[in-house]
Chain A
Amino acid sequence: MRDISWSHFEHKADMGIEGRGPSMEIAFAQAGLALNAIISDLKSISPRVVRQIRCLGDDPEILFFDFINEIIFLISSQGMIFCRIEVKITDSELAAWLSGEDIDPAKHDPAVEIKGASFNNLSVKQDKNGQWVARCVVDV
C-alpha cells in the first residue's frame, strides 16, 4: 500500500516536518499539513475558504523551501490556518490550493507561531521503495 502521511521529527529548539507520498506533489502537500499541525490539531480546522500559492524554481529543495515559507506567510499575514492542501507541479511551477479558516484561539488552541522554514535537514527525495519524502526544520 502506498503511504500518504505526515509527521514531525525532533529538533531541540524547533520542529521538523516531513511529508510522504507516491508523488512529490503529495509529499509536499503532506508536509504542508505537518506544518499546520505544529500550530493546531488539524481536526479542529474547518475548510471554509481556499487560498492559492504559486512558486517558481527548478530545484525541488528550493521549491519546497519556498512552498513552506509561502504557507507560513499566509498564516502570519492573514491569520489563517489550513487543514487541506493540494499541490500541482508542472515544469518548474508549483501551484497549491489550501483550505482552512481564520485562526480562532478558542477553537484552535494555537500552540506557537512559526517563524520560517530553514535549510536545516531540508531534503526532497525518493526512498528505495519509490516513496517521495519532503522534509525540513522550521523555526518556531
Chain B
Amino acid sequence: MDPGILKKIAPNTFELEQTGAMRVPGILFADEALLREMEDKVLEQIGNVATLPGIVQASMAMPDAHWGYGFPIGGVGAFDPDQGGVISAGGVGFDIACGVRTMATGIHRQDILDNQKPLADLLFKNIPAGLGSTGGIRIKGREMDEMLTHGASWAVKRGYGWMSDLEKIEEGGVARGAIPDFVSEKAKQRQEKEMGTLGSGNHYLEVQIIDEIFDKIAARAFGLRKDDAVISIHCGSRGLGHQVATDYMRLMVIEARNQKINLPDRDLACAPIHSETGRQYLGAMRSAINCALANRQIITHLVREAFARIFPSATLDLIYDVSHNTCREERHEVNGKMTRLFVHRKGATRSFGPGSPDLPKQYMDIGQPVLVGGSMGSSSYILVGSREGMKLSFGSACHGAGRVMSRKQATKRFRASRLIDELQEQGIEIRGHSFRGLAEEAPDAYKDVNRVIQVSHDTGLARKVARLTPVISVKG
C-alpha cells in the first residue's frame, strides 16, 4: 500500500481516517517499508472491521499484518458487549488459539551442538507431525468434553506435565466458559486421533539458542541465559478448531443473509455478543482454545520424554504459552473508564504489561512474555508486554513474520532439497515430513521478522527481551 494515503500520528503509527460507515478510525503500527509490503486489501479490511457494531477506539493492525478473511491477519478489534458489540468467527480465524510455547532447558549451546543430529532425529520420531499423522492418544465422548472444558489442566491431570506448568499459560491453562455442547460432532470427530500432534504448514518444533539478550532484568525473570537452549512449539487447536471455525462462519453468514444485513465482506459475518449465536460461538471457541492448550501440553510432555533420553537431568520448565487467534473477555480503560470488552486478536499476541491481571506471580512486576515465532530457519524473539501497549493496542503485539509470498509462488521459486542444504550450512538441522511443505515455508516467503520486532519495540507494543536462533527445526 501507499503510506501516503495514511496520516502519520506518531513514530511508526499511522491512522486510516474514519470515513463512510466506519465507526472508529484504523490504526496501523508499522514503518513505511512494512506498509509498502502490505497489500491494499489490508487497508480495506481494517476499514471494514471499523464498521462493525460496538467496536471501541480503533480497528488495529500489528506490524506483521497481511490479508486475511474479513479481519486482516495481525488484526486487533475490541468490542463492547453493552454497546451492541459483536463477535466474529472470521475475526478469530480458522486455527483457533494457534500459539507458541517456549521451555527453558538450562543446557548450553555446545552441549546441544554436540548432540544436534541425534536430538533432531529423536524429536522428529517422537512428536507426531505432518498430514495424516495421528497421536497415540484416542479420546471421545465424556473424556473429549472434559478436555474441552479444562484445557491444559485436563492434560496435566492425565499425567502430561506438571501442575506448575499451568501458572505459565494464559488464563492458567483453561479458557473459562467453554461449552462443549456447542462444538459439533464433526469437530469432535476430527479431533479423536489428533491429540498431541503438531500439524503441518507453518507449525513447528524448534530447539533454539538464546543468542542475544536485550533486557537483562526481564530475561532474568523469564529464566533466560545467553547461550542456553530453549525449545519452542508452534501449533494450534488442530481439526477441532478448524471445524468450529468452519461451522460458525457458515452459521454467521447465513444468519446475516436471513436478517438482510449487508456486510461489506461475507467473511466479516458476526453475531452480537449478547445473542444466542454469539453465546454459542463463545462457548465453542473457548472449547477450541482449551483443545489447543491441551494439545500443546501433551506435546510438551512428549518433548520432555524425548529430551530426557539424551539430557536426563534437564527439567524443561515452561517459560510461557501464548495463543494468537482468540477473542477474550478482558477489562481495559476506555475514555478513562474500565470497561468489559471482547478483544479479537487474529494473528496477534496478547502482550499484557506489568501489574496486569492474569500474569504469573514471577512476571507480575515485569509483564507478560510475548513469544514471537520467526519463519523456518530465521530468528524468533521473546518480548515483554508494556504499560504503553495496554493503552495503545489493548495489550496486543505482533505474532510472527507474516507471509510476503503465496505458497504457489514459493513452491515455484524454492527447492526443498536446496533449502535443507542451505539451512544446514547455517548450522540448522531441519527435519520435515514433506518436501513440498518445506518449499512452501521457505524463509524468503516471509517478511523480515527483525523489522516487525523493531517496530513492536519502538512503538512500545512489546519490548525486546531476547533473540533466539534455531539449531533444530522439525516441521509438520
| Residues of chain A having any CB pair with chain B under 8 Å | 8, 10-15, 39, 62, 65-66, 69, 72-73, 76-77, 79, 102-105, 109-113, 115-120, 122, 137, 139-140
Is B436's CB under 8 angstroms from A109's CB? Answer: yes
Is A13's CB under 8 angstroms from B73's CB? Answer: yes
B186 lies within 8 A of chain A by Cβ? yes
Residue of A whose beta carbon sits closest to that of B98: A115
Contact partner of B436 (CB less than 8 A), chosen from A65, A69, A111, is A111
Q: Which residues of B in the span 380-428 have a Cβ within 8 Å of any Cβ on A?
A: 403-409, 411
Most buried by B among A105, A115, A118: A115
28 contacts between A and B (CB under 8 A): A8-B408, A10-B406, A10-B408, A12-B404, A13-B73, A14-B407, A39-B131, A62-B250, A69-B250, A73-B243, A76-B239, A77-B192, A103-B131, A103-B132, A105-B433, A105-B434, A109-B435, A111-B131, A111-B200, A111-B437, A111-B440, A112-B440, A113-B199, A113-B201, A118-B69, A119-B90, A139-B95, A140-B201
Residues of chain A lying within 8 A (CB to CB) of residue B411: 111
Residues of chain A lying within 8 A (CB to CB) of residue B131: 39, 103, 105, 110-113
Is B266's CB under 8 angstroms from A105's CB? Answer: no
Residues of chain B lying within 8 A (CB to CB) of residue A39: 131
Is B94's CB under 8 angstroms from A116's CB? Answer: yes
- Known contacts A10-B409, A113-B200; 9 additional CB pairs below 8 A are A12-B67, A12-B403, A77-B239, A104-B132, A110-B200, A111-B437, A112-B131, A112-B200, A122-B266
- With A111-B434, A116-B242, A119-B266 as contacts: A13 and B134 at CB distance below 8 Å: no
- With A73-B190, A139-B94 as contacts: A116 and B243 at CB distance below 8 Å: yes
Residue of B whose beta carbon sits closest to that of A116: B246
Residues of chain B lying within 8 A (CB to CB) of residue A15: 406-408
Size class of B's contact patch?
35 or more
B24 lies within 8 A of chain A by Cβ? no
* Alpha-carbon distance A120/B72, docked complex (angstroms): 12
Residues of chain B lying within 8 A (CB to CB) of residue A109: 434-436
B68 lies within 8 A of chain A by Cβ? yes
Is B408's CB under 8 angstroms from A118's CB? Answer: no
Is A62's CB under 8 angstroms from B254's CB? Answer: yes
* Alpha-carbon distance A105/B132, docked complex (angstroms): 8
Residue-by-residue, is B284-300 near A (CB-CB < 8 Å gives 1, otherwise 0)?
Answer: 00000000000000000
Residue-by-residue, is B159-192 near A (CB-CB < 8 Å gives 1, otherwise 0)?
Answer: 0000000000000000000000000001001101
Residues of chain A lying within 8 A (CB to CB) of residue B61: none
B39 lies within 8 A of chain A by Cβ? yes
Residues of chain B lying within 8 A (CB to CB) of residue A12: 39, 66-67, 403-406
* Alpha-carbon distance A103/B133, docked complex (angstroms): 9
B213 lies within 8 A of chain A by Cβ? no
Residues of chain A lying within 8 A (CB to CB) of residue B435: 109
Q: Which residues of B in the span 32-81 have a Cβ within 8 Å of any Cβ on A?
A: 39, 66-69, 73
Residue-by-residue, is B103-140 near A (CB-CB < 8 Å gives 1, otherwise 0)?
Answer: 00000000000000000000000000011111000000
* Alpha-carbon distance A47/B193, docked complex (angstroms): 24
Contact partner of A120 (CB less than 8 A), chosen from B132, B200, B250, B267, is B267
B465 lies within 8 A of chain A by Cβ? no
Residues of chain A lying within 8 A (CB to CB) of residue B406: 10-13, 15
B188 to chain A, nearest CB (A): 10
Residues of chain A lying within 8 A (CB to CB) of residue B253: 119
* Alpha-carbon distance A113/B436, docked complex (angstroms): 12
Residue of B whose beta carbon sits closest to that of A117: B246
B249 lies within 8 A of chain A by Cβ? yes
Residue of A whose beta carbon sits closest to that of B199: A113
B245 lies within 8 A of chain A by Cβ? yes
* Alpha-carbon distance A103/B73, docked complex (angstroms): 30
B230 lies within 8 A of chain A by Cβ? no
Residues of chain A lying within 8 A (CB to CB) of residue B189: 73, 77
Contact partner of A110 (CB less than 8 A), chosen from B132, B245, B405, B409, is B132
A55 to chain B, nearest CB (A): 12
- With A10-B408, A13-B403, A119-B249 as contacts: A110 and B242 at CB distance below 8 Å: no
Residues of chain B lying within 8 A (CB to CB) of residue A122: 266
A106 to chain B, nearest CB (A): 10
Q: Which residues of B in the span 248-295 have a Cβ within 8 Å of any Cβ on A?
A: 249-250, 253-254, 266-267, 269
B213 to chain A, nearest CB (A): 32
Contact partner of B434 (CB less than 8 A), chosen from A11, A65, A110, A115, is A110
Residues of chain B lying within 8 A (CB to CB) of residue A137: 69
* Alpha-carbon distance A118/B70, docked complex (angstroms): 10
Residues of chain B lying within 8 A (CB to CB) of residue A118: 69, 90, 94, 249, 267
Residue of A whose beta carbon sits closest to that of B436: A111
* Alpha-carbon distance A119/B269, docked complex (angstroms): 10
